[in-house]
Chains A and B, each alone.
Chain A
Amino acid sequence: MNVAVLRPQVPFARGGVEIFTDRLVDELRARGHDADLVSVPFKWYPGARVLTQAFLWRMLDLDEADGKPIDVVVATKFPSYVVRHPDKRVWLVHQFRQAYDLDGTELGQFGDSPEDRAIRRKVQALDRVALGEATRLFAISRNVAARLESSTGLRADVLPHPPQALEFRCDEYGDFVLSVNRLDRAKRIDLLLQAAALDAALEVVIAGDGPDRERLEQIARDHGLDGRVRFAGRVSEEELADLYARCLAVYYAPVDEDYGMVPLEAFLSEKPVLTTTDSGGPLEIVTDGASGLVVSPDAGELARAAGWLREHRDDAASFGRAGRAVAAEVTWDRAIGRLLE
């Protein structure tokens, strides 16, 4: 089967969607399909540019490529699903959340002017049309499926996918809590720094880079966390696998995250996950007191949870092993089987 995987591209940025789609293409090819990635740059500002940039996808002709038919397209996130194709399958990572749940929050994009309000509504209308055309509609998590249904009335089958392929292993339950994430406000890494400020024994390694890095480093300096908090920046796959292998636990608590590969990666390294009650997707994976600890989004509670794991390393190991069993259930064979059935 000839499959085109569709991915909007933000130049110079790389995150979960890029890892997911690259891997999807590899896994499709490994199963004998002729798969390729189709990528179009996406800029969502200013004003109505979010709509005209989305419209670029509509002008693509992906029925065939150089005489070779494209049997199926797999769109992943806004606005790639605006494309036209007789067999458009959508494996939804997320919609344009600024037009939905992030509207009116500090992470929102649209102001109170009539034009801004109308742009937001037009994005929603575009979603209803474009997603409504899909021949199959999947969402990477229950959280994403629920947001889709409440915003458009469309129902998606939940189809999780495995994380990136690293040399996952567990070497020890060391002294530091690991954060793996792009550094932006929605990922709420500042909460972990505030927890470290409350617990002098809490050590933290922050892997990843992003626009919030300067602010986070300033918070660390303001709290005198130098020496206990290390900003590792963007790390190689080997380094990341090594950090997972040596950490005590993995912190992952964005605000209402779509799904989150990091908990699955932590589990494959047999590490417990620290998350919060409002983190969204991760709560579909992490079970409080069984594979991690789920606390309210409060620095004090987070500090106490990290301290408890430090004092109960056997339990931390037990949580990690339970997590590994959860992660083992999410396989590419199952995902691709359902995607193309």
Chain B
Amino acid sequence: MRVAYFSPMPPERSGIADYSALLLPALRGRLDVRVVKRGRKKAPRGTDVSLYHVGNNPDAHAWIVDALHREPGVVVLHDYVLHHLVAGMTVGRRDGHAYLDAMEREYGVVGRLLAHGVLDKRIPPLWESRPADYPLSSFVLEHATGLIVHSRTVSELARASGFPGPVWVVPHPAWPVGQVVPVRLAPGMVIGCFGVVNASKRIPELLQATATVRESHPEVKLLLVGPTSPGFDLDRRLQRLGLAEEGVVREGWADERRLWSLMAGSDVAVNLRHPTMGETSGSVIRALSLGKPLVVSDVGWFSELPNEVALKIPTGDDEVNVLSSALELLVSRADVREAMGAAAVDLARREHDVGRVAELYTAALEESAGGAAVADAVLRDVSEAAAEVGISGDAAEAKEIARRLAEVELGT
């Protein structure tokens, strides 16, 4: 079966490009996959189904959504909140009317008025200030024949928004752990945090918790790896908390190899966020593969991680206290770290194995490409047999037949 594959691909700097680079070899062992060249708007001739990887970044995904709008297909929804993408494809193309229409279609007159407010610069851009309140996901979902998502959270959000088609929950694949040489940037216990340094990654709360933990465990260091968001004053926060001289080790953007090494050299991996856009985290998947005990926010996909591998921190007033206690527990108990690490490796092998993920993709694509024809064939066969013995479509017996078909998911 031939599949047209729309995705950012390396060397683009995109988590989804890395994802596709990992998935494609395993998928090609099962399907005839044709990767569509960036910018093309049509699937190659002779393909049976198109697969569109969609994330919130317009630079990486606008051309893919353009193609989706031309020809519906299966969408891999990497983020549920797509306001930034939609803004990029409308306002970013100097097409304010399209933005107004998108907002009105999804949120009615109020949405249109808000969009006017944004275009007239009377209110801050919603994609920056309140994206989770206005995810604009229908911009994509309306054109999807089926959805592949990475979490039950996003599956439920799609259903709640009224998406009627099939939804397949497929775990994020885990990268194989190659020859990783651990790099420890500090003596003592290292808490690693990997990704963009900003408020939504709960860095202020993490810094406060680190300062608290260091009162009883001064040997603990926080390793922050990743670029700092513009406008996030990290240095001032470090100074205020007394972490500027020691306590925090800083490293900016790290390439893939360096990232693995630094993560392997950490004792604990922290990955917090709020709000969530419904996304998964490549860093968390890497940490699982390396067998690192995790501390995550109790939101979205992160909430779905088994308790055996992650301590989950609720967002809210008590966030810093709970986070401090979680870090305190992990830095002081080697047995807990070891047990969580072993469970993490097991989970990565069991759930996130790339072969298993490719098999789930294949099932979804095969069901999507031929499922309707099969459902029609089953219904035709059953209804013809019923009609031949005088059971009409509105008879009680026909209703029972329909009920039985639904019980075993046939005819749909």
Contacts and interface: CB of A to CB of B under 8 A. Distances in A.
B160 interface: no
Interface in A100-127: 112-122, 124-126
A129 B409 contact: yes
Given A52-B382, A112-B1, A118 B410 contact: no
A55 B405 contact: yes
Contacts of B410: 51, 55, 122, 126
Nearest to B364: A121
B1 A117 contact: yes
Given A114-B49, A121-B363, A126-B410, A55 B370 contact: no
B267 to A, nearest CB: 34
Interface in B354-395: 363, 366-367, 369-371, 373-374, 377-378, 381-382, 385
Contacts, number: 75
B370 A115 contact: yes
A48 B378 CA distance: 6
Contact of B366 (A47, A49, A114): A114
B378 A52 contact: yes
B12 interface: no
B408 A48 contact: no
B401 interface: yes
Given A48-B377, A51-B374, A121 B408 contact: no
Contact of A126 (B363, B370, B409): B409
Nearest to A119: B374
A121 B412 CA distance: 13
A2 to B, nearest CB: 23
A309 interface: no
A48 B381 contact: yes
Contacts of A121: 363, 366-367, 371
Nearest to A52: B381
B404 interface: yes
A59 B409 contact: no
B104 interface: no
Contacts of A136: none
A47 B385 CA distance: 16
Contact of B373 (A84, A115, A125): A115
A97 to B, nearest CB: 17
A213 to B, nearest CB: 33
A283 interface: no
B219 interface: no
Nearest to A127: B408
Contacts of B381: 48-49, 52
A47 B49 CA distance: 20
Q: Contact residue range for chain A?
A: 20 to 34
B185 to A, nearest CB: 42
B390 to A, nearest CB: 16
A177 interface: no
B338 interface: no
Nearest to A104: B30
A145 B189 CA distance: 45
Interface in B396-410: 401, 404-405, 407-410
Interface residues of B, number: 23
Interface centre among A113, A118, A120, A124 (most CB of B within 10 A): A118
A82 B404 CA distance: 10
A29 interface: no
Nearest to A124: B363
B369 A130 contact: no
B373 A58 contact: no
Contacts of B366: 114, 117-118, 120-121
B308 interface: no
B346 interface: no
Contacts of A129: 407-409
Nearest to B373: A115
B370 A84 contact: no
Contacts of A120: 366
Contacts of B407: 58, 84, 129
Given A51-B410, A115-B373, A119-B374, A59 B49 contact: no
A118 B408 contact: no
B101 interface: no
B328 interface: no
Nearest to A122: B374
B48 interface: yes
B168 to A, nearest CB: 11
Interface in B43-70: 48-49
A55 B408 contact: yes
Interface string B1-24: 100000000000000000000000
Interface in B67-81: none
Contacts of B371: 118, 121-122
A46 B363 CA distance: 21
A117 B401 CA distance: 25
A114 B408 contact: no
A116 B367 CA distance: 10
A91 to B, nearest CB: 20
A215 B366 CA distance: 35
Nearest to A48: B377
A125 B410 CA distance: 9
A47 B377 contact: yes
Contacts of A113: 1, 370
Given A52-B378, A114-B48, A125 B409 contact: yes
Contacts of A125: 409
A119 B378 CA distance: 10
Nearest to B401: A59
Nearest to A58: B404
Contacts of A122: 367, 371, 374, 409-410
Interface centre among B48, B381, B408, B410 (most CB of A within 10 A): B408
A116 B370 contact: yes
9 contacts: A58-B405, A84-B404, A114-B370, A115-B370, A117-B369, A118-B374, A119-B374, A122-B371, A129-B407
Rank and list the top 9 A-B pairs by shortest CB-CB distance, nearest first. Answer: A118-B370, A114-B370, A114-B369, A117-B366, A48-B377, A52-B381, A115-B370, A118-B374, A58-B404
Given A51-B374, A113-B1, A118-B369, 5 more contacts: A114-B1, A114-B49, A114-B366, A116-B370, A121-B366
Interface of A: 47-49, 51-52, 55, 58-59, 82, 84, 112-122, 124-126, 129-130
